[in-house]
Amino acid sequence: MRSASRAGLLCGFMMLAATPLSAQQDMREFTAGDGSYSFRYPGTFGIDTEFADGTGDPVGVKASSPENGDVLINFYSRPATGVTEVTQATAQALADQYVKANAVVPSVRYKSHKMTTMLGQPAVDILMEQRGAIKRFVATVLDGREYNFYCVYRADKAGQFAPACDQAVATVALLDPRAPAGSAEPEEANAEEDGDAAATSDGICSLKAFRGKELAVTEAASKAMMKDQSPEAVARVVKAHQEANAIGERITANGNKPIEKDCTDIEAILATLE
């Protein structure tokens, strides 16, 4: 799932700082490559892919940058489990599913949930927070499938980026209900940002690069849990977090001066989640 402190380092995709949605003149339409769904988004956003390194299927859009922090709008679907119809009576149960899926990340805190609409159906808008970043899930169930938007933005920039999430939720449409959501063609290629590699030019792991990879583990774990909540998947995510935390503690004990092995080890952990 990226936190605000990650500051867009993981994607290596530099974007201009977005302006509030009301000021946007250039609205675009994201359409899945398999023709399953579409939604509208501000033109200052680019394409976000399945994995933090820019590979995999595009799953939504982003406006991440050092100035903005992580700003993501992703759309997913899966067979409905647990809650099969969203109503006022089942809203809490659906919110609990998402809270449970994210509980494996100790720093994620549940804030609130409320009823809304999406795809012409009642939906639940669930807010969580992680280290100053809002992690927002808007979920509904339609014809036996659960659909959800995953939006991320800094809490102190909610007024700037929450409207883009609202716009996506309001405009999402299923173009071919037979096709699963989550696959699309990229609209533009990602370019690696200087300083985003796991090591500096002199081959020494930088603290900035390590923190980026560390937080990439958090997002990849969150995405993994949204797709698969089996005991095996949970165990893999928990193990990844434990190992990443151990490396972080090792670096802290070393005066916040990581060595090359620290970056190599955190990349190996990230690979287990992707």
Find the range with the poorest average confidence among 37-46, 151-160, 171-180.
171-180
Q: Token pair of 37, please?
A: 């769904």
* Residue range 128-172, pLDDT digits in tens: 999 899 999 999 999 999 999 999 999 999 999 999 999 999 999
Asked whether 63 and 99 are in contact (CB, 8 A), the reply is: no
d(CA 139, CA 125): 7
Query: Tell me: the pLDDT tens digits for 111-126?
Result: 999 999 999 999 999 9
* CA separation for the pair 131, 93 (Å, rounded): 25
- Rounded to whole angstroms, the Cα distance separating 220 from 194 reads 22
Which residue from 111, 103, 102, 98 is spatially nearest to 140, judged by alpha carbons? Answer: 98
Q: How far apart are CA 123 and CA 140, in angstroms?
A: 4
Taking residues 41-50, what's their average pLDDT? 89
The pLDDT assigned to 138 comes to 97
Q: What is the mean pLDDT of the chain?
A: 77
pLDDT confidence tier of residue 199, bands split at 50, 70 and 90: very low
Higher pLDDT, 7 or 221: 221
